[in-house]
Structure 1
Amino acid sequence: MKKILSSIIDGKGFDIALVALPLTFLLTLSGIPLVYNVLMSFQQVDLFSLGTFGRPFVGFKNYTELFAQLETSPILLNTALFVSASIAGQFVIGFGLALFFWMNFPGASWMRGLFLVSWVMPGLVVGAIWSWILSGDFGVLNFFLREIGVTDGNIFWRSDPHYSLWAVIIANIWLGTSFNMILLSVGLSGIPKDLYETAELDGANALQRFWTITLPMMRATIGAVIALGLIFTLQQFDLFAAITSGGPHNSSNVTQYWAWELSFRQYDFAKGATISVIMIVFVMFASIVYVRSTRHEVRG
C-alpha cells in the first residue's frame, strides 16, 4: 500500500488513479444495479420477495411469458414507431436548421441559442407545456389547424387512440431537434469552404454540392447523431408520464413506460426488469454505433 501511495505521489501512478477512481465510481453506481436487474429478470420477484435473496430462479420464463402477452406486440410496434418517427423528425428538422444557420447571417448566433431552450428544459416541464398546446378544447395547435383550414373541429390529441402516440412524438421531436441542430452544426463547421468554392466553379448547383460534399463529409457526424438520438429516445419517460400516461388503452404505451407500469403499478418486478434488459441490449447496440462513428470521425 505504501508503494502504491508513494508512486501516486511521485506522479508515476497518477494517470492510473485518474482513470481507476472514476471507473470504480461508475461501476459501483451503474454496474451493480445493472447486474441486479439482469439477475431479477431470471427470477420470480413480487412485492413480498423483493427485499429478500431467496427468490426462485425461473430461467427464461419471464421472457417467454412477456412475449406471450397480448399487449406486448402493440407496445413494441408503438416503440418502433415512436423511435423511428422521433429520430427522423429530429434529424430532418435539425439538419435543416443547421444548414440555415450555417449561412452565418446577422443574428444567427443568438437565434441558434434560442433553439437550445427546449433541450435544457426538464422533460416533465416540456410535457406540461405540450399538454396545454395539445389540449382538445383550448389547445393552441387545434386553434392553428382550424385557422389554416386543416380541420373543422377539435382533435383530442391526448385522449384519442388514433392521435395519442403522435402527440408524444410531436413533443419529443420539438425537445430533441435543437440537440441535433447543434451536433450537425459542429459537423458542418469542419467542412472546408474551399471544396464548395471549387465545386461551384465547376458548375455544381446547390443540390449537387449537398450530395457530393456535405453528406459524404458528414457521414460520421450523422451516424453519431442518429445513435445518440436512439439512445435518448429509448430512455424517454417524462413526456409519456406528463402527456398521455401510456393511454388510452395502451395506444401510446412504449416499452420504457410499460416497464415502469409493470414494476410500480402492477408490482411485477420480474417482468419490468425483463423489459429493461431488452432495452439495454438496444441501447448498447446504439452505443457501439456511436463509439464507432466518433472513432471514425477522429481518425478522419
Structure 2
Amino acid sequence: MNRVISSFRDGKGFDIALVGAALLFLGIFAGLPLVYNVVMSFQAVDMFSLGTFARPFVGFDNYIAVFSEPIFWPVMRNTVVFVVASIGGQFVIGFGLALFFTLKFPGSTYLRGLFLVSWVMPGLVVGAIWNWILAGDFGVLNFALTGLGIIEDNIFWRSDTAFSLWAVIIANIWLGTSFNMILLSVGLASIPRDLYEAAALDGANGWQRFWTITLPMMRATIGAVISLGLIFTLQQFDLFAAITSGGPANSSNVAQYWAWDFSFRQYDFAKGATISVLMIALVMVASVIYVRSTRHEVRG
C-alpha cells in the first residue's frame, strides 16, 4: 500500500492510472464493438435475432454470400475509384497549397486558417452545401462551367449515373484537402532551409530542388498523409448519405454505404457486419503503414 501511495506521489502511479483508463476506454468502446462485429459476421443475424443470442454459426457463408452478390464487383470498383481519386485529389491540391503557403505574403496566416473551415465542418453539413452546389438546374458548379464555356447543357451530377460518384468525390476532395495541406505544411517546415540555399548556390532551379530535396525529405510525411487519407476515406459515409444515397442504380454505391444499407435498410445485420470486417481489415493495413511511416520519421 505504501508503495502505491509513494508511486502516486512521484507521479509514476498517476501516469499508469491515466494509461490504464485510456486502455479501458478503448477496450470498452472500440475493442468490444470490433469483436462483436467480427463474431456477428460468422452468424446468421437478422432483425428478429439481433436482440437475442439465438444466432446459429454459419462459418464463412456470409462472406460467400457477399462475394456472390450481383453488385459486389461494381461496388468494389466504385470504392477503389472513390478512394484513389479522393486521396489523389486531396494530396495533389493539398501539397500545392502547402508549397504556396511557404511563401511569405500579407494575410497568409489568416488565409491558411480559412482553409481549415472545411475540415471542421460535419460531413452532413458539407453534403448539404454540395447538394446546392451540384444541383442540376440551379447549381453553382453548372453556372460556373456554363459561364466559362466548358459545358453547354447542365449536368445533373447527383442523378446521372455517369457523374454521381464523381459528385461525391469532388465534395470529399474539398472536405479533406485542408487536412492534407496542414500535415504537409508541417513536413515542409521541418526541412532545413540551408539545404535549399546550398542547392541554389550550386545552380539548381526550383524544380530540381523540389525533386532532390523536398520529395526525399518528405517521404515519411507523405506516407503518413496518404495512410491517414486512406483511413478517413474508407470511413466516409456522410457525403454519400447526404448527396446520392448510393444511387442512382448503385452508380455511387461504395462498401461503407453498402454495409449500412444491408444493416439498416434490409436488416441483414450479418452481411452488413461482413462488409464492415472487410473494411476494418483495409483500415488496419493503412494504420500499420501509418505507424511505420511515423516511426521512420521519428528515427530520421
Q: Same fold (TM over 0.5)?
A: yes
Provide the C-alpha distance between the structure 1 equivalents of 2:25 and 2:94, rounded to a whole number of angstroms.
35
Provide the C-alpha distance between the structure 1 equivalents of 2:242 and 2:281, rounded to a whole number of angstroms.
26
**Equivalent residue runs for 1:37-56 within 5 Å:** 37-56=37-56
Q: Note closer, same or farther for the CA distance 1:4–1:160 as it changes in structure 2 (3 Å cut).
A: farther
In 2, are the aligned partners of 1:127 and 1:171 still within 8 Å (CA)?
yes
After superposition, the C-alpha distances for 1:158-207 in whole angstroms (9 at most, x for unaligned) are 00000000000000000000000000000000011100111011011111
Q: Which stretch shows the higher mean deviation, 21-30 or 229-238?
A: 21-30
Aligned counterpart, 2:8: 9
Provide the C-alpha distance between the structure 2 equivalents of 1:21 and 1:241, rounded to a whole number of angstroms.
35
SS in 2 for 1:242: helix
After superposition, the C-alpha distances for 1:122-163 in whole angstroms (9 at most, x for unaligned) are 100000000000000000000111111111111000000000
Are 1:180 and 2:153 matched, yes or no?
no
SS in 2 for 1:13: helix
Identity %: 74
- How many residues align? The count is 299
Aligned counterpart, 2:256: 256
Aligned counterpart, 1:65: 65
In 2, are the aligned partners of 1:8 and 1:17 still within 8 Å (CA)?
no
Aligned counterpart, 1:273: 273
After TM superposition, the score normalised by the length of structure 2 is 0.98
After superposition, the C-alpha distances for 1:55-102 in whole angstroms (9 at most, x for unaligned) are 000000000110011011000000000000000000000000000001
Provide the C-alpha distance between the structure 1 equivalents of 2:210 and 2:103, rounded to a whole number of angstroms.
14
Aligned counterpart, 1:220: 220
After TM superposition, the score normalised by the length of structure 1 is 0.98
SS in 2 for 1:160: coil
Give unmatched runs, 5+ long, in structure 1: none
In 2, are the aligned partners of 1:78 and 1:252 still within 8 Å (CA)?
yes
Aligned counterpart, 1:154: 154
TM-aligned CA deviation for residue 18 of structure 1: 2.2
TM-aligned CA deviation for residue 4 of structure 1: 7.2
TM-aligned CA deviation for residue 5 of structure 1: 4.7
Provide the C-alpha distance between the structure 2 equivalents of 1:190 and 1:273, rounded to a whole number of angstroms.
42
After superposition, the C-alpha distances for 1:240-299 in whole angstroms (9 at most, x for unaligned) are 000000000100000001100000000000000000000000000001111111111111
TM-aligned CA deviation for residue 106 of structure 1: 1.6
Partner AA of 2:221 in structure 1 = T
